[in-house]
Structure 1
């Protein structure tokens, strides 16, 4: 192919290439035609690569094909010989694997990524050692052909490489020139497919961002002053602006029949707000039925919600009414709605659309009138995007989404909540303990990743263990750095979160109060790690024209993580 650079020293000149039989030429053309069909007819070319490698094996005898791609946001790092990459596809159809899996010899990958030219090895074991042979080679006499995949035509930036192998037995070396030309053509087709997919994804992100910005501007333009705080709902403690916003939303939507989705981290009191919604509605004298979807298997959940007929399955000794029937005329609260399986989602969708269903094992169609309230701590939008949650069901349940604030966003309520929870503890256990001002101040400085549930556990623990009637700061576990939830909070990073739910992601952590040490520790110098991270962040923002979404892609982060990092390092975003 014109413009292809090949490491000629690796092709060798020990024998002149032999003419290719005419039958081989037809097979080569057939192979290219099939590859073009596969890569131009799919939305995800990476997923089609195992089939592409199968075509190359069937038509041309090229074995053990593999595709390597740079990791998203990958960039050369100090002390690392090549950009970080993964094996994105193989001939076996295995999922994404690390570069150390030996599907592509690391020396071959290093050569192609560094130099941006193709590599042909006439004897892989002789040139790179036996450890370079792929795990399922079956022979030591293998030739390798690897070609770069570029970001754009004639671009020096290599975003990946294709690698295939050929047996040398039976005169296989005479096909290497043809193999190189074919693999270059496949790489060109793949480049176009990947580029098109990225353009579509970039346009989609831009359109979504513009839509969100338009909604925000419209909301600000039509915003009206919030009414004076209404009396607190029964069982809900707090007067902070965050909790007042939620209670105002509950009061507005309660008189309607509109489905409500309560969103928030674990422990924010979703069931309590669902009960308040029911108590303020005209269904308050009818049943309030709750179901935890995560606690039941699919078969049990179906029986629990829809009921079953006698003899419909082993153990069904009598007819049983489901929760939908029991909630007829009232409210049904489905907690952890994001955990139900795709198969059950379709069954749930029908009753939400038609208001009718059949019991398990029955044929009689039943109709119910139920107000549906659901709750989740999962990112349902992401679940819809990756196909694990039905979009039509999402739009059915997410008519009025209400986001419950985590406890760290309503710190003014912590003192009231702590005292209310301690009063409940005293009533249950016949005690008369109370919280000192120092203890309340310490509690107000904690992050509480487990939210109100964690605060309740903290109060119960310190009340049970404190020796005196008055609980002071010295009695709290966090004052002695023994708080396990504080350790979980510190372990959060951009890739994973032990806390889970909507709390995932990097956050600025306030320093917990500690008991004074007998002798102060000497001051320690700040390391170079934060400075280097700040410089890298500024460099990414400058290269992205101070657009946070673009900088996030360069750094392999999400826009939300970039926002937190900018805030953490005190970087002012330039406006143009």
Structure 2
């Protein structure tokens, strides 16, 4: 049909039904696939407010766990909390007035939606949310049902509609939209609760497995072998216990997880474990997982074929192939990404893999030793570490003691490190007993690594052959350990690690009486930069416009950046710019 003579076709302006569809589309994007739908609800409420004018949104959820019912007005009532509000923030008690208690109880008890066209008149002025200015408000509250048991209501979703300018005409649409959001949210919440229960079960099983493994491998101190291992210096009860565990598991093919703070010598113990095993004549290969990107780590461990990616000019064997028949030591195993954890599972279970860009399946026989200073149980609980991989590597966990728990070993360790320094540099320096005594008074938050640096520094700078206590850095206020302790902001170790916790401040040797101890030294106060404060206008629309302009200015008038600053989507920011007639600056 020829339309040239019909003139221009008029396109209807986008009406309210289009904004409703846009709102549902944005909400579906936010909730679909979200690992924590509750955390996304403030953004959902922002969409409802920006596109449809539904403000002061809130979500109430029944409390989980075996909590007893409370008795109120002679009736048993299940307790609930306000899990999310439009302003964000942590979970709040039901008395915070985000949802009127009478409204929430009605929906929880009856399982039907509630729409009140005048909430102040029907439920009293206290039913209005805090900070609201216009008392002419309608409330829409819908139930979030458990589909597995439809009479059961697990939550209430509500929002407020201002009745100014004939706002009551939108209530039917508001009710339909909230019911749709509740249906999507129900699936997400139910999935989240199932995952949370599985995580709790996995963590409990992991703790039980660690306890049983510790009981199996731990040896009484009287039976611990007194002879040291190659490269391991110390005779304390803590180090003898670790040596006993190493000797017991060395003769097996069981994966071992070495755990301890940074600087406790995890690689040294991994080498000792390899030297005691039947694989001692084969290769010992080490990889620091934290030092490589995910793509490079995959190529390093599995190898790659020629031409598999840019720069792959020849075939390369991976570390698993190089360690065939021997031991592979993966340090900082807790730093690998979730995607690479899935790739690591197959070779740990089947001993099979393919090179990057290859199709031929290779089979290897490798003894795996891993190490970490992270709390893997916490990582499993928050979803940053796979539980199935955790159980693959944490068969026999061995916790390496920090140096502050084996202070009797500081003297022999310091002398051994000095002997190594002398051998490398052709010197003949030695420690005076006063220097050994001063070193033994330090807690060494950096453990053996910090002790090694301390010895190397004083040996390089000491003018005499004999190193005295006065030559140590801590006697000249140059101790790195003291600097770390001065800069820390809490009770945890400034170095970090698995077994960190509240620690005593290090004793840094004798000081002049006028000098305060490290605990009393505070960092100089740095004045905060002056930040211009804008006075919030009394009109909510004006305040919203002011906040939008400020965010756009901070983002260089880039809508995507401003959306991140405001916690909104770029579509919301674009709609708000049109709503407030704000001209976008172009550079």
Structure 1 pair 506/173, CA: closer, same or farther in 2 (3 Å)? farther
CA distance in 2, matches of 1:256, 1:248: 14
Q: Is the 8 A contact 1:262 1:401 kept in 2?
A: yes
CA distance in 1, matches of 2:207, 2:369: 27
1:481-528 per-residue CA deviation (whole Å, 9 max, x = no partner) reads 43232332455566865322225432233543332337999xx9xxxx
- Structure 1 residue 401 corresponds to structure 2 residue 397: yes
Q: Is the 8 A contact 1:43 1:197 kept in 2?
A: no
Give 1:363 shift: 1.0
Alignment of structure 1 residues 157-556 onto 2, 5 Å: 164=159, 166-167=161-162, 169-172=164-167, 208=204, 219=215, 226-489=222-485, 492=488, 498-509=494-505, 511-517=507-513
Decide which of 41, 50, 64 is 1:49's aligned counterpart: 41
TM-score of the aligned structures, taking structure 1 as reference length: 0.61
Q: Tell which deviates more after alignment, 232-241 or 42-51.
A: 42-51
Q: Is the 8 A contact 1:144 1:163 kept in 2?
A: no
1:336-362 per-residue CA deviation (whole Å, 9 max, x = no partner) reads 111111111111111111111111111
1:118-172 per-residue CA deviation (whole Å, 9 max, x = no partner) reads 99899xxxxxxxxx799xxxxx99969899xxxxxxxxxxxxx999554454233
CA distance in 2, matches of 1:407, 1:64: 54
Q: Is the 8 A contact 1:230 1:248 kept in 2?
A: no
CA distance in 1, matches of 2:467, 2:504: 29
CA distance in 2, matches of 1:477, 1:370: 44
Structure 1 pair 218/442, CA: closer, same or farther in 2 (3 Å)? closer
Three-state SS of the structure 2 residue aligned to 1:46 is helix
Give 1:284 shift: 0.8
CA distance in 2, matches of 1:441, 1:116: 67
1:147-199 per-residue CA deviation (whole Å, 9 max, x = no partner) reads 9xxxxxxxxxxxxx9995544542338999xx99x99xx9xx99xx99x979x
Give 1:439 shift: 1.5
Q: Tell which deviates more after alignment, 43-52 or 468-477.
A: 43-52
Give 1:434 shift: 1.7
TM-score of the aligned structures, taking structure 2 as reference length: 0.60
Give me the CA root mean square deviation. 5.3
CA distance in 1, matches of 2:240, 2:505: 25
Decide which of 46, 57, 75 is 1:65's aligned counterpart: 57
Alignment of structure 1 residues 78-89 onto 2, 5 Å: 89=84
Give 1:401 shift: 0.9
CA distance in 2, matches of 1:316, 1:339: 26
1:222-270 per-residue CA deviation (whole Å, 9 max, x = no partner) reads 9766415331111111111111111111111111111111111111111
CA distance in 2, matches of 1:476, 1:68: 61
Q: Tell which deviates more after alignment, 287-296 or 508-517.
A: 508-517
Structure 1 pair 287/197, CA: closer, same or farther in 2 (3 Å)? closer
Three-state SS of the structure 1 residue aligned to 2:513 is coil
Structure 1 pair 423/285, CA: closer, same or farther in 2 (3 Å)? same
Give 1:422 shift: 1.0
CA distance in 2, matches of 1:408, 1:145: 61
Three-state SS of the structure 1 residue aligned to 2:38 is coil
1:398-449 per-residue CA deviation (whole Å, 9 max, x = no partner) reads 1111111111111000000011111111222222222122211121111111
Q: Is the 8 A contact 2:213 2:396 kept in 1?
A: no
Structure 1 pair 378/53, CA: closer, same or farther in 2 (3 Å)? same
* Count of matched residue pairs: 427
Give 1:390 shift: 1.1
